[in-house]
Amino acid sequence: MSVQGRIGGAGGGKVKRALGIQAALEWAFRVEQAQLELPPPKDGADEGYSFGLEYVLIQQAALGCKVDGGQHKMGSYTHADAEVIAATVAGMPSNLGGIRMAICVVELARAG
pTM flag (> 0.85): no
Residue 102 lies in a domain: yes
In a domain, 109, yes or no: yes
- Number of structural domains the chain divides into: 1
pLDDT at 63: 84
Which residues, 6+ apart, have CB-to-CB distance to 34 below 8 Å?
28, 78, 82, 83, 85, 86
Q: pLDDT below 70 — which residues of the chain?
A: 1-13, 43-51, 66-76
The per-residue pLDDT for 1 is 44
Instruction: Tell whether 59 is covered by a domain.
Output: no
Within a domain: 110: yes
Domain containing residue 28? 13-36+79-112
Contact 85, 35 (CB under 8 A): no
| pLDDT number for residue 37 | 85
Examine residue 50 and state whether it is found in any structural domain, yes or no: no
pLDDT of residue 94: 93
In a domain, 95, yes or no: yes
- Structural domain includes residue 94: yes
Instruction: For residue 25, tell me if it sits in a domain.
Output: yes
